[in-house]
Amino acid sequence: MGTALVVGASLAGLHAARTLRLGGHEGPIIVADADVDAPYDKPPLSKQVLAGEWERDRIVLPAATEDLDLDLRLGLRATELDASARTVAFAGADGADGAATVAFDQLVIATGAAARRLPDTAGIAGVHVVRTLHDSLALRAELEATPSRVVVIGAGFIGAEVASTCRRRGLEVTLVEALSVPLERILGAEMGRVCAAVHVANGVDLRLGVGVDHLDTIEVGGESRVTGVTLTDGSTVVADVVVVGIGVQLNVDWLTESGLTIDDGVVCDASLRAAPGIVAAGDLARYPSARFDRMLRIEHWETAIAGGEAAARTLLAEQRRESAPVFDPVPWFWSDQYDRKIQLAGRPQPSDECVVVEGSTEEFRFVALYGSGDRLTGVLGMNRPRHVVQMRMAMEEGITFPAALERMATP
Amino acid sequence: MRIVVDFDLCESNAVCMGIAPEIFEVRDDDFLYVLDENPPESMRAKVEESIQRCPKQAISLVED
């Protein structure tokens, strides 16, 4: 049985630890995370927490309050996995003490990702990312001072939610996106344009197809502080606060010398196994999907939970010398922006056919299906949760694109 | 067991409906309806999964 080590105490790691314990793992379960605030739920960080509606006690994960006999070690940043010696070296996060080497029999890799930052902006006051609780509270403190304008760089889901929260706080917002259509790679051009229109309808100054040339700063009391953003079209947007939402960088540095295959994530088999006794889950796990006929790496909330559970079941199966279950769910996520709830199930490609089957995109209340040939690749809903969940369930059962279109056409 | 939904928290993500459509239903008005507040013991695993997976932590279980 031995010691299970889970590196990462967010959703994937915590649910892996929980599944190991509930699944009968009787040995020690050590759960380590660099974030001293872990474990907590991240979706509210760009919404309710940032809005000042929720405090940290409201985002404690339910699994964190269960009696699972976990050895939780916070403030420890993994620095190196030695897969043959079966050890992980840790350092204290943020310069704190805590250097340690932890031996394991089985390992869950769930260190997730960190927010990407703009180059050469470290240490400039007023420039934020939103990834951790610390990030969210720091940005919130600046929003509470009622800045004259907030510039959000990147109109992905985090940027869109931050823009939404700032508008709800009554703040002026400029949203800058380098692509000519936001979310095009995820939703396709047509639906990306609908999402762009939602921002404009909610009073956001949306700048598409333009990048950031540089940040403008002043020196105040020995500190550099942002005053605006100069864009690649030569215009300057004056702002007291800048939020950068340009994606993530996977926390895989500690695995570079491990011998594991690292290629846009930790490359796993269909049971999330990266090597014997070593599994990965959450944002950094890349696995073969038979359902979508390609390798997938999914950064969704639900996939972190399901992946953590599946990875743990793979370890439990190894302990019992059973075959491990295959992980291949229909991925889905939601994003709350203004008074709209956007939900996408599946994994459409931008080139897939996209058909609005219910409601109207002008009213921002609709259902759209994506397909390629006979394959249903996705369902997108805006304020249509029932339709999305029902079609997601049908996708799990393998409904074809023509059959899905016909079902939606039947009242 | 009795299911309690905090409707101030619920935002109709319909995750619970995906797990236990016998108990939870999001209707055309986008509101969640609990079809069976006192589900049989055989539904316990699905109810507990719904509680874990609710993105808003809006569902709880009261033992009568």
Q: Where are the domains of chain B?
A: 2-62
- CA–CA gap between residue A129 and residue A247 (Å, rounded): 10
Q: Report whether pLDDT(A221) > 90.
A: no
Mutation for B interface: A389, A391, A395, A396, most B CBs within 10 A: A389
Closest residue in A to B18 (Cα–Cα): A389
Of B14, B28, B51, the CB nearest to A389: B14
Q: Which residue has the tokens 């059973």?
A: A322
Of B18, B52, B55, the CB nearest to A389: B18
Dihedral sign (CA A18, A20, A25, A29): negative
Q: Where do runs of H (alpha helix) occur along A89-153?
A: 133-144
Query: What's the gap in Å between the CA of B47 and the closest CA on chain A?
Result: 14
Asked whether A394 and A404 are in contact (CB, 8 A), the reply is yes
Q: Is A145 exposed, middle or buried (0-12, 13-18, 19+ CB in 10 A)?
A: exposed
Q: What is the pLDDT of residue B29?
A: 84
Bond preceding residue A39 cis, omega within 30 of 0 = yes
- CA–CA gap between residue A182 and residue A188 (Å, rounded): 9
Of A63, A341, A392, the CB nearest to B18: A392
- The SS3 assignment for A330 reads coil
- CA–CA gap between residue A274 and residue A83 (Å, rounded): 11
- The SS3 assignment for A358 reads strand
Residues of A in CB contact (< 8 Å) with B are 15, 41, 43, 62-63, 301-302, 305, 334, 336, 341, 343, 383-386, 388-389, 392-393
Q: Report whether pLDDT(A109) > 80.
A: yes
Mean pLDDT of chain A: 96
Asked whether A254 and A238 are in contact (CB, 8 A), the reply is no
Per-residue pLDDT band at A95 (split at 50, 70, 90):
low
Indicate the DSSP class of residue A322. Answer: -
The CATH code of domain A339-409 reads 3.30.390.30
Q: Report whether pLDDT(A219) > 90.
A: yes
Contact B30 A383 (CB under 8 A): yes
Asked whether A212 and A120 are in contact (CB, 8 A), the reply is no
- CA–CA gap between residue A258 and residue A127 (Å, rounded): 35
- CA–CA gap between residue A29 and residue A205 (Å, rounded): 49
H/E stretch holding A43: none
Q: At what angle do helices A301-319 and B44-53 cross, to 10 degrees?
A: 130
Q: Which CATH architecture has domain A4-114+249-319?
A: 3-Layer(bba) Sandwich (3.50)
Asked whether A79 and A102 are in contact (CB, 8 A), the reply is no
Q: What is the pLDDT of residue A98?
A: 72
Amino acid at B49: E
Q: Which CATH architecture has domain B2-62?
A: 2-Layer Sandwich (3.30)
Of A41, A386, A392, the CB nearest to B26: A386
Q: What is the pLDDT of residue A151?
A: 98
Q: Report whether pLDDT(A129) > 80.
A: yes
Q: What is the pLDDT of residue A1?
A: 67
Q: What is the pLDDT of residue A319?
A: 95
Q: What is the pLDDT of residue A47?
A: 96
Per-residue pLDDT band at B12 (split at 50, 70, 90):
confident
Q: Which residue has the tokens 């993994």?
A: A78
Q: What is the pLDDT of residue A216?
A: 97
Per-residue pLDDT band at A71 (split at 50, 70, 90):
very high
The 10 Å CB-count burial string (b at 16+, else e) for A74-101 is bbbbbebbebeebbbebbebeeeebeee
Mutation for B interface: A364, A386, A387, most B CBs within 10 A: A386
Asked whether B43 and B55 are in contact (CB, 8 A), the reply is no
- Quick one: what percent of chain B has pLDDT higher than 90? 67
Instruction: Spell out which residues of chain A touch residue B12, defining contact as CB-CB under 8 Å.
Output: 341, 385
Q: Report whether pLDDT(A96) > 70.
A: no
Q: What is the pLDDT of residue A231?
A: 98
Question: Is B51 an 8 Å CB contact of chain A?
Answer: yes
Same fold, A117-246 and A339-409: no
Instruction: Spell out which residues of chain A touch residue B18, defining contact as CB-CB under 8 Å.
Output: 389, 392-393
Query: Which range among A14-23, B28-37, B53-62 has the greatest average pLDDT?
Result: A14-23
- CA–CA gap between residue A83 and residue A259 (Å, rounded): 7
Of A63, A305, A393, the CB nearest to B18: A393
Contact A393 B12 (CB under 8 A): no
Is pLDDT larger for residue B63 or for residue A143? A143
Instruction: Spell out which residues of chain A touch residue B25, defining contact as CB-CB under 8 Å.
Output: 386
- For residue A374, count other CB atoms closer than 10 A to its CB: 9
- For residue A407, count other CB atoms closer than 10 A to its CB: 14
Contact A302 B27 (CB under 8 A): no
Q: Which residue has the tokens 């969210």?
A: A136
Contact A385 B27 (CB under 8 A): no
Question: Does the domain formed by A117-246 have CATH 3.50.50.60?
Answer: yes
pLDDT average, residue stretch A365-381:
97
Instruction: Spell out which residues of chain B touch residue A302, defining contact as CB-CB under 8 Å.
Output: 15, 53
CA atoms in the 13 A half-sphere facing the CB of A240: 14
H/E stretch holding A280: strand A278-280
Closest residue in A to B21 (Cα–Cα): A390
**Out of A36-40, A187-191, A309-313, B7-11, which region has the weakest mean confidence (pLDDT)?**
B7-11
- Quick one: what percent of chain B has pLDDT higher than 70? 100
CA distances from A344 to A243, A266, B39 (A): 25, 24, 30
Q: Per-domain residue ranges for chain A?
A: 4-114+249-319, 117-246, 339-409
pLDDT average, residue stretch A375-381:
97
Amino acid at A224: S
CA-based diameter of chain A, in Å? Answer: 67
Q: Report whether pLDDT(A230) > 70.
A: yes
User: Could you say which residues from 11 to 50 on chain B have a Cβ atom under 8 Å away from some Cβ of chain A?
Assistant: 11-15, 17-18, 21, 25-28, 30
Q: What is the pLDDT of residue A410?
A: 81
Contact B30 A385 (CB under 8 A): yes
